[in-house]
Structure 1
Amino acid sequence: MQSTPSRRGFTAALLAAAVLAPMATSSTAAAHARSRAPQSGDDCPPGGLGPELTARLDAAIEGVRKQAAIPGVIAGVWLPGRGSYTRATGVSDTATSTPMATGLFMRIGSETKTFTVTALLELVDEGRIRLDDPICAHIHGVPCGDRITLRQLAEMRSGLFPYTADADFTHALLSDPGRSFTPWELLGYGFRHKNTFRPGETFQYSNTNLILLGLVVEKVSGLGLADFIHRRVLRPARLHRTWFPRGAEIPDPHAHGYTDQTLSGKVADTTHWNSSWAWAAGAMISDFQDLRRWAEIVATGTLLSPQTQAERLKVLPTGFPGTSYGLGIFETSGWIGHNGSTPGYESVTVYLPSQKATMVLLINTDISSGGQEPSTLLARAITEIVTPDNIYDNPVPPR
């Protein structure tokens, strides 16, 4: 699912040093999370899938990469009891032809939503908020805020207009991709429109929802969202190469990203575009191995109580066959997790509980191929080979 702006129309396919005195329950939860955090996965030995399956995966990935004109791909599948497969192919920089490598940082777009909602659910576990609180109990000025709950925001069922679908926002961003946006500026683009349906009535992917949830986390915790996620999510999950940038920065080494979401329609290098436009919905950066860990943590609820994780996994129909959406996660063909699309980058991070399998994909373009997201084409091709009974498909049509 995307946090991506697009001249073709924004859709939901789709991305301080204040000290918080932790409650006793949060300290206990953090210790519990550390003890339960998934280990390195020794039951997935490299190359364990065998030469025939490995060759089929190599051919499938390279075929999709060339067909979809993807500059570079990082792909990994871990199948306990069977083995694992990892591959980096293509280039990380088209100007220098530097090869893609598995250790590079990449922007992960809407996968950010899994971190923001995890932060929110930790506050639920502490009893500091409730999922069925109306948003007006925490943030004022939201249209129909007395009838929209935190749960509906996380489920994408609020009816709030997606700010990324506002034409003025599109022009503002694409005219100056280096500019900074505040959360309230983003909300202003959405709130100028009428709500699209009554709260809870249906599913509509909207980054407006996640901006509000990010503000709730900040207000209730007393910390900036980036700081709270770092302290309460990334640290206990032992994700040392995942980051919430303040603006356009991206750590080295990184892959360059390429998009055709420009005013002219020409392909541009988006590596240093300012990600503040997506904030709690799509700003974060990570790498291959951290996302492998995160896939299992999200799907199994390592950082949350069993009761709260059960609420998270109550997925509801999206209107797209075979796909449901829960609290900041989707389920499609048995795979649980999220994908991301932001100008120049796409990703997929999912976990298949029935096989305890993990799949991670990172690519350095978001340019559609045949009307489909290139990351979806890759995920489908890989799962057709390794999990033919659970073939991944994009939860929502692109753009």
Structure 2
Amino acid sequence: MRTHRRGAAVAAAALLLLVSPPVAGAAYGSGSTAVAAPVPAPTPDADAFPELTPALARQLDAAVQKVMAEAEVPGVTVALSAPGKGQYVRSFGVADKATGAAMSPGLYMRIGSVTKTFTVTALLQLVDEGRVRLDDTIGKYVDGVPNGDRITLRQLAAMRSGLFNYSEDENFFKALTSDPQRPFTPRQLLDYSFAHPVLFEPGAKFLYCNTNLILLGLVVEKISGRPLDAYVDEKVAAEAGLKHTLFPKGAEFPSPHAQGYTNQTATGRTEVSTNWNPSWAWAAGAMISDLPDMRSWAKTLATGSLLEPATQAERLKTYPSGIPGAGYGLGIFNVQGWIGHNGSLPGYGALTVYLPEADATMVVLLNTDITSQGNEPSTLFGKAMTSIVTPDHVFDLPAQPASGQ
């Protein structure tokens, strides 16, 4: 994600980041045909993932530390694992520049757009209960949405609504950076979006847009009759067995946690963003978790253990994104076979993905969102590690020039 406006330079990340995708106004792909993503194989290929030996761990250490130095990342925690192959879990650098406290796998971290996977899972659970349909229009649940009588919940989840991304609005950026502690309501966020004309007809293109998730969050609230944070905590995180994952109501941040560092500020200088209020990201990116929970969630999300098989199959159908080897489904992406999502909001970055054919998970958590030559640091770590362990499935979302906005 590129918070607010940084998007033009990092179009690739539009696929996954959080709050304003790095690709801000770029629209990728004009086709509307969904392609079925591979359903996680019940019998993983034993040769699809290497044994995580000490020698391979040293190779991974060097690759991660190289990215860390080149991208100037303060601290990062990474994890790779597959049944029968061992696990690789490492933390490098500092969680707090001021004190020098080391980064650790046990720290809480903000996970940005990985939140989208929880919000859409909540919606799909309601679909399984027969309380809502993916092809319902958003106008059935939320008043005042441009094209609301034609935009479906499916199109919102697939980033194909045509609505303007509120986090790209100049007035929103000024409001957030002038007072990062201020709370935003979902309706305030929608107002920033709806002040702009729609960008294209529903279903015509892919465009990563946080507005879509705010609307889906409101649908979950209306159908369930409960606040989104409470519903996600109980019906998604708890049912998935996650012990340290939460949807905060405001700026609360459990301890211990890493300090976050961002240059998405009013002055452009790097500042500590740890206690910024993430309500501006809400259903699109406000959640908090830790490494063990994200490792567990990667498989739960990709295999659909909280959903009916048919619903998960619908979720994994991907639409063209315009980026080679990458497609986006319903609040989930597939990049060269790795299924999941990444996230980025001021001060933090995350990547949580699963490779079905190897039954392998990869998680990256770091305490900065500052890009390196236009690339998201979580992508750089993911690419460096998968180039070593899964050369046939290299996680890569290269920076691309923006095509619009």
Q: Structure 2 length as normaliser, TM-score?
A: 0.88
One-letter amino acid of the counterpart of residue 302, structure 1: S
1:170 pairs with 2:173: yes
- CA–CA separation in structure 2 for the residues paired with 1:358 and 1:292: 6
Aligned equivalent of 2:348, options 345, 350, 354: 345
Q: Which residue matches 1:367?
A: 370
> For each residue in 1:130-161, what CA deviation from the matched residue of structure 2 results, as whole angstroms up to 9, or x when unmatched?
00000111111100100000000000000000
Deviation at 1:394, TM superposition (A): 2.4
> For each residue in 1:336-360, what CA deviation from the matched residue of structure 2 results, as whole angstroms up to 9, or x when unmatched?
0000000000000000001110000
3-state SS, counterpart of residue 258 of structure 2:
coil
Aligned equivalent of 2:319, options 304, 316, 322: 316
The Cα RMSD (Å) is 1.7
> For each residue in 1:347-377, what CA deviation from the matched residue of structure 2 results, as whole angstroms up to 9, or x when unmatched?
0000000111000000000111111111111
- CA–CA separation in structure 2 for the residues paired with 1:313 and 1:283: 23
8 Å CA contact 1:148–1:199 kept in 2: the answer is yes
One-letter amino acid of the counterpart of residue 280, structure 1: A
Deviation at 1:8, TM superposition (A): 6.5
One-letter amino acid of the counterpart of residue 132, structure 1: D
- CA–CA separation in structure 2 for the residues paired with 1:396 and 1:357: 26
Aligned equivalent of 2:394, options 386, 391, 394: 391
3-state SS, counterpart of residue 204 of structure 1:
coil
Kindly report structure 1 stretches of 4+ aligned residues shifted beyond 2 Å: 6-15, 394-399
Q: Which residue matches 2:188?
A: 185
Gapped regions of structure 2 (runs ≥ 5): 19-45
> For each residue in 1:175-197, what CA deviation from the matched residue of structure 2 results, as whole angstroms up to 9, or x when unmatched?
11000000000000000100000
- CA–CA separation in structure 2 for the residues paired with 1:396 and 1:241: 32
- CA–CA separation in structure 2 for the residues paired with 1:6 and 1:228: 30
Percent of aligned pairs with the same residue? 59
- CA–CA separation in structure 1 for the residues paired with 2:282 and 2:102: 30
- CA–CA separation in structure 2 for the residues paired with 1:73 and 1:292: 15
Q: Structure 1 length as normaliser, TM-score?
A: 0.90
8 Å CA contact 2:374–2:399 kept in 1: the answer is no
Deviation at 1:9, TM superposition (A): 6.0
8 Å CA contact 2:375–2:399 kept in 1: the answer is no
Q: Which residue matches 2:28?
A: none
Deviation at 1:398, TM superposition (A): 9.4
One-letter amino acid of the counterpart of residue 131, structure 1: L
Q: 1:396 to 1:186 in 2, by over 3 A?
A: farther
- CA–CA separation in structure 2 for the residues paired with 1:377 and 1:206: 23
8 Å CA contact 1:7–1:170 kept in 2: the answer is no
3-state SS, counterpart of residue 92 of structure 1:
coil
Q: 1:8 to 1:208 in 2, by over 3 A?
A: closer
Aligned equivalent of 1:213, options 210, 216, 224: 216
8 Å CA contact 2:111–2:285 kept in 1: the answer is yes
Deviation at 1:80, TM superposition (A): 1.9
One-letter amino acid of the counterpart of residue 4, structure 2: P
Aligned length: 368
One-letter amino acid of the counterpart of residue 5, structure 1: H
Aligned equivalent of 1:271, options 269, 274, 281: 274
- CA–CA separation in structure 1 for the residues paired with 2:172 and 2:94: 32
